[in-house]
Structure formats: C-alpha cells, structure tokens
Amino acid sequence: MPALAHLSNLEFTLLVALGSLLAGLLGALTGLGGGVVIVPLLTIAFGVDIRYAIGASLVSVIATSSGAAAAYLREGYSNIRVGMFLELATTIGAISGAYLAPHVPTSAIAIIFGVVLLYSAYTANKQLHETQAIEPDRFAKRLRLDGSYPSENGPKSYNVQNVPAGFGLMYVAGTISGLLGIGSGAVKVLAMDQAMHIPFKVSTTTSNFMIGVTAAASAGIYFHKGYIDPGLAMPVMLGVLAGALIGARILPDAKVKSLRLIFSLVIVALAIEMILKGAKGHL
C-alpha cells in the first residue's frame, strides 16, 4: 500500500479512513458520491498513484451508493423509476465519450466543463424555493416518473418536468464522464433539480443510486487491470460507507438551503480544479 514516509501503515490507514468518512458524508448529502473528494485526497495528501486512487474511489462510490441509497429508498426519498430511466442516457453517453476521447482535446473540454459548473453552482444556489408545475409532463406521465417524498407535513407529491431535456443532460453527463474519466454526480443532480424540477432531496438521493450503477461497471475494469489495491480500498470503502450512512440519517432533517449551499461550494471547487487542470494540460 502506498504511504507517506513519515507515516506508519496503521497511521496511514486511520487517516485514509477518516478522510473517507468525511468524503462519504459529503457525497451522501449532496448526491455527488465520495469519489470527487477521495481521488484528490489520496493523490495530493497521501501521494497515492492516481490509477490506484481512482480504483479505490470507484469502490468507495459503490459503497456510498449501496449504503446511502438503501437507506434513502427505505425512507421513501429515492425515485428508482427516474434513476433507472436516466441511467440509460448516462450509459449511452459514457460509451459515446469513450469513442470520442481519442479525437477531442480533453483540456478544452475540462475548461468548458468547469465554466458550466460555475454557472450551475450559481443557478442552484439562487433557486432556493422548490416550485412544482401544476401540469404534469406527458412523458413523465407515460413512464410513471412522478412520485412523492417524506416531509414534515406528511408525503409531498411532485411532478417530474422536462423529461426530454433531463434525458439529454444525462447523456451529456455520461459523455463528459467518458471523456474525462470523472464522476458525473454533479451534472446528474443539476439535471434533475434544475431541468426536471425534481425536489433537491429527491435529486441527491436518486443521484446516489445512479452513481453506484455506473461505478460498478468501471470498477470491474479497474479490478481486471490490477488497479484496485485491497489494502487501500478497504479503509476507503469502510470510511465512505460509514459517512454515507451518517449522511442518510442527517438528510431528512437537513435544510434544503444549507444543502444547496454545500452543493454549490463543492461544485465551485470542482470547477476551479477542472479549469486549472485543463489550462495546464494535466487531463
């Protein structure tokens, strides 16, 4: 297992587990998945080879999705029909991105993606009141995507809107993921929240479910190539899983305004990182 020279294996493992717990907590509350924090944490703070960091991150994303999504589903937050339907778009997009990757400069895409994320963070934090359209979307009605989620006053119904736009954005999310090799949880949440007008808590919980489905296939490839180190993946997985379960308990009582603020701050940090890496040609 890679480790810093001044840390023993036990110290390294405990610190990784603690950092992973915080990453899992953040991923569960925002729907981004813990991977967006795990990879920078392992590579920058602990000097882990990025290929092994991504392998451990994929395992952690599955743990986040399995831990948080199960709790959210039991509590009635996740919309599985929406998640499975939109997962088709992200999967097709990921395949498209993989085919386009050799022909498109990823540095330019990273910069564009960062700018889009900055605007998305501004938009997400600006709309603090969840409003639902009265007229249901005809596609949502045919696919039975409308649902309800627990609230202080009992189950609250919502209508899914702009299904074609949401499906298209999910395709874009998958394409970007295939091109850059990054998680698309941020775009998934934004597509459901902003385009489809799905309540923010439902968007984040459904995103958690979707992220796990996507990561499972990628993790298999990394495992086949030998980039998943059990000694590294184990503390990461356990830490993220613990954080995800804690996040699942916090979310029902959390204020949407606070969640949006946290979401926006994380998006801004990701956007800056993407723009800098793209400008320096590190992607």
* pLDDT for the residue numbered 8: 82
Q: Is the pLDDT of residue 3 over 50?
A: no
Q: Which residue has the higher pLDDT, 224 or 237?
A: 237
Query: Can you tell me the distance from the alpha carbon of 4 to that of 48, in angstroms, rounded to the nearest whole number?
Result: 9
Q: pLDDT grade, residue 85 (50/70/90)?
A: very high
Reported as a single tens digit per residue, the pLDDT across 119-158 is: 767 766 665 444 454 566 889 989 999 988 888 788 888 9
Mean of all residue pLDDT scores within the chain: 79
Reported as a single tens digit per residue, the pLDDT across 226-281 is: 888 999 999 998 998 888 788 878 877 777 677 778 777 877 887 787 788 778 87
Q: Is the pLDDT of residue 223 over 80?
A: yes
Q: Is the pLDDT of residue 195 over 60?
A: yes
Q: Which residue has the higher pLDDT, 255 or 167?
A: 167
Beta strand 156-158 pairing with 147-149: antiparallel
| E-strand stretches of the chain | 147-149, 156-158
CB distance 160 to 196 below 8 Å: yes
> Residue 151 half-sphere exposure, CB side, CA atoms within 13 Å?
14
Mean pLDDT of 86-90: 89
Q: Is the pLDDT of residue 11 over 60?
A: yes
Q: Is the pLDDT of residue 70 over 90?
A: no
Pull the structure tokens for residue 22: 């915080």
Reported as a single tens digit per residue, the pLDDT across 100-123 is: 766 777 677 778 777 877 876 776
* pLDDT for the residue numbered 135: 65
* pLDDT for the residue numbered 102: 66
Q: Report the candidate in 206, 204, 248 with the shortest Cα–Cα distance to residue 84.
A: 206
* pLDDT for the residue numbered 164: 93
Reported as a single tens digit per residue, the pLDDT across 34-53 is: 666 787 788 877 888 877 88
All structural domains of the chain with their residue ranges: 9-280
**Is the pTM for the entire model greater than 0.95?**
no
* pLDDT for the residue numbered 166: 92
